[in-house]
Structure 1
Amino acid sequence: MTDSSDAPTPLFDTLVVIGPGLIGASVLHRARRDRTIARRLIAVDINPAFRERVRELGIADEVTGDAAAAVADADCVMLCVPVGAMGEVAATVIPAMKPGAILTDTGSTKVAVIEAIRPFLRPDVPYVPAHPMAGTEYSGPDAGFATLFDNRWCLLTPLPDNAPDSVEAITTLWQLCGARTRDMTPEHHDRVCAIVSHLPHLLAFTICGTADDLADETRSEVLEFAASGFRDFTRIAASDPIMWRDIFLSNREAILEMLSRFLEDAQAMARAIRWGDSDYIVDRIERGRSIRRSLLENRQA
């Protein structure tokens, strides 16, 4: 029989996950698996159906709708709510947190989220922003799974006044979840995510909308004969609309900049097709193939 005293000491005694959707539930699954992240797990959600489903899944020791009460004894509080709700939730939980507890989040944009949370910060509650670069098109507690973050990046955007030990703790949390970690500024994060995540989603939603607006006969053929390229767009476009609305609005400047650059490149490709510039077309395709190979080599595809 294994001596329980040989088990590793968890990173935190109590971890509270507010918003056990795809990301939050996946963190809970991972933390529940071997208890290296936290001894005690608390899930918080305002949706009674979600709370009941988390109970049925058995991925938290306690499930509640009372965020303020849940965080009172927490050592770490993770906000996994849509970015548009971060400020409101922070206003509720930060006053109730004990001194020394760490606040973190999983928002897909960082400048706007930090600005929303900053007015409620306390000097004795360090806030370490983070963004796990992992996901699927599914949402809700049932979407979560323990290996979601394996070999994916989690980008941390520490604040200037963050103590090294609080940043180290959140870095370790994500590494225990299976992620690779990197620090960057919030501004740089938002520009990077605008091109690698936000713009692709915007294009997917748009092209599916274009297909849906076609004449009835053509639309039915689109749905019947959809090739793999279009199916890939529909998978992305199946993502949660509220979450992506909030992301687009909170990172509007970076997204609009990247969209403008993309439109210029799309026009250049249109000109190449119109005038039969085969060298330009082949060059663009080869660059795309090269990026794909790089993703495979970097274990991101």
Structure 2
Amino acid sequence: MQTPSDTRDLPPVFETLVVIGPGLIGSSVLRRAKEYGGLARHVIAVDKDPAVCARVAELGIADEVTDNAAEAAARADCVMLCVPVGVMGPVAAAVLPAMKPGAILTEVGSTKVSVIEAISPYLRPDVPYVPAHPMAGTEFSGPDAGFATLFENRWCLLTPLEATPHAAIEAVRTLWERCGARLRDMTPAHHDRVCAIVSHLPHLLAFTICGTADDLADETRSEVLDFAASGFRDFTRIAASDPTMWRDIFLLNREALLEMLARFMEDAQAMARAIRWGDEAYIVDRIERGRKIRKSLIENQQA
């Protein structure tokens, strides 16, 4: 794997970058800025939880830590919202009035149509807004979960609005490129359908299958836990993800998610019929298609 490049000698993308919500994604951006440089000359972490602020300060991953989002935003050249999608609107409402003209607002929400709708009422014509979604993560959360190479060779999807100035889009694009990410532009609605199948539906299935296992009779459940093979362990890793974050994602991307779930259920029923009636050709075809997808992921360095 290629070693991440040190961008410390490059002019910073922003003088002051404010990261609101230093969880897995936010703290990884902070670490990237501190360890590799090139993102901002001064980074400020913001969180309403005093314990989180204290931990970020202890970790030393920001130049400044505060619980005052508006005060920090007033000094920012870029404000990045890394909070759960369900609170993007209220947080944007709190910081946008304080931002200076020309400063950029961006966020990392996993749903785009709902987040853009939540933020749009508070937008200002002199503060460009660039929605983004880094497709990277783990099942862990909080400031200790982040690491500087989280975004290395992972996709970051940009869904800029039609009126967004080109210079603002390019600044956010450069920031993510310097985090090591690959960039792709798409519309918000298309983003939500893509993420519904590649991210949101797999999480829904993982939470559901783990719930099914937990609902089994006590003796069977203990055997499930004792003899869990790698397949079930993979589900439990995904199911360990933050419940508040995923509750918001499911509810705020419900239309695309329910569409993909309906298509999956049709395919699952077709597989059930093939197993019932011994349709070996259908079963083998589905397995081979799965193997091809896995091979493609490995070739694209996404596995």
Q: After superposition, what is the alpha-carbon deviation per residue over 1:84-115, rounded to whole angstroms, capped at 9, x for unaligned?
A: 00000000000000000000000000000000
Secondary structure of 2:238's partner?
A: helix
Q: What is the CA–CA distance in structure 1 between the aligned matches of 2:148 and 2:286, rounded to whole Å?
A: 37
Residue 22 of structure 2: aligned partner: 20
Structure 1 residue 34: Cα displacement: 2.8
Q: Is there any run of 5+ residues in structure 2 with no aligned partner, and where?
A: 1-7
Contact 2:29 2:179 in 1 (8 A): yes
Q: After superposition, what is the alpha-carbon deviation per residue over 1:261-280, rounded to whole angstroms, capped at 9, x for unaligned?
A: 00000000000000000000
TM-score by length of 1: 0.98
Contact 2:12 2:38 in 1 (8 A): yes
Of 146, 160, 183 in structure 1, the residue corresponding to residue 162 of structure 2 is 160
2:227 matches 1:222: no
Q: After superposition, what is the alpha-carbon deviation per residue over 1:163-222, rounded to whole angstroms, capped at 9, x for unaligned?
A: 110000000000000000010000000000000000000000000000000000000000
Residue 143 of structure 2: aligned partner: 141
Secondary structure of 1:211's partner?
A: helix
Structure 1 residue 9: Cα displacement: 1.5
Residue 257 of structure 2: aligned partner: 255
Within 5 Å, which residues of 2 pair with 1:30-179?
30-179=32-181
Structure 1 residue 73: Cα displacement: 1.2
Structure 2 counterpart of 1:240, one-letter code: D
* Alignment size in residue pairs: 296
Q: What is the CA–CA distance in structure 1 between the aligned matches of 2:235 and 2:9, rounded to whole Å?
A: 45
Q: What is the CA–CA distance in structure 2 between the aligned matches of 1:204 and 1:9, rounded to whole Å?
A: 43
Structure 2 counterpart of 1:18, one-letter code: I
Residue 3 of structure 1: aligned partner: none
Structure 1 residue 7: Cα displacement: 3.2
Structure 1 counterpart of 2:289, one-letter code: R
Structure 1 counterpart of 2:188, one-letter code: P
State the identity %: 78
Report the RMSD for the aligned CA atoms in angstroms.
0.7
2:16 matches 1:8: no
Q: After superposition, what is the alpha-carbon deviation per residue over 1:111-141, rounded to whole angstroms, capped at 9, x for unaligned?
A: 0000000000000000000000000000000
Q: Is there any run of 5+ residues in structure 1 with no aligned partner, and where?
A: 1-5
Secondary structure of 2:121's partner?
A: helix
Runs of 4+ in structure 1 deviating by more than 6 angstroms, as ranges, are none
Q: What is the CA–CA distance in structure 1 between the aligned matches of 2:9 and 2:240, rounded to whole Å?
A: 41
Structure 1 residue 35: Cα displacement: 2.3
Of 273, 286, 289 in structure 2, the residue corresponding to residue 287 of structure 1 is 289
Q: What is the CA–CA distance in structure 2 between the aligned matches of 1:243 and 1:8, rounded to whole Å?
A: 35
Q: After superposition, what is the alpha-carbon deviation per residue over 1:26-85, rounded to whole angstroms, capped at 9, x for unaligned?
A: 000001113200000000001111111100110001100000001111000000000000
Q: What is the CA–CA distance in structure 2 between the aligned matches of 1:247 and 1:174, rounded to whole Å?
A: 22
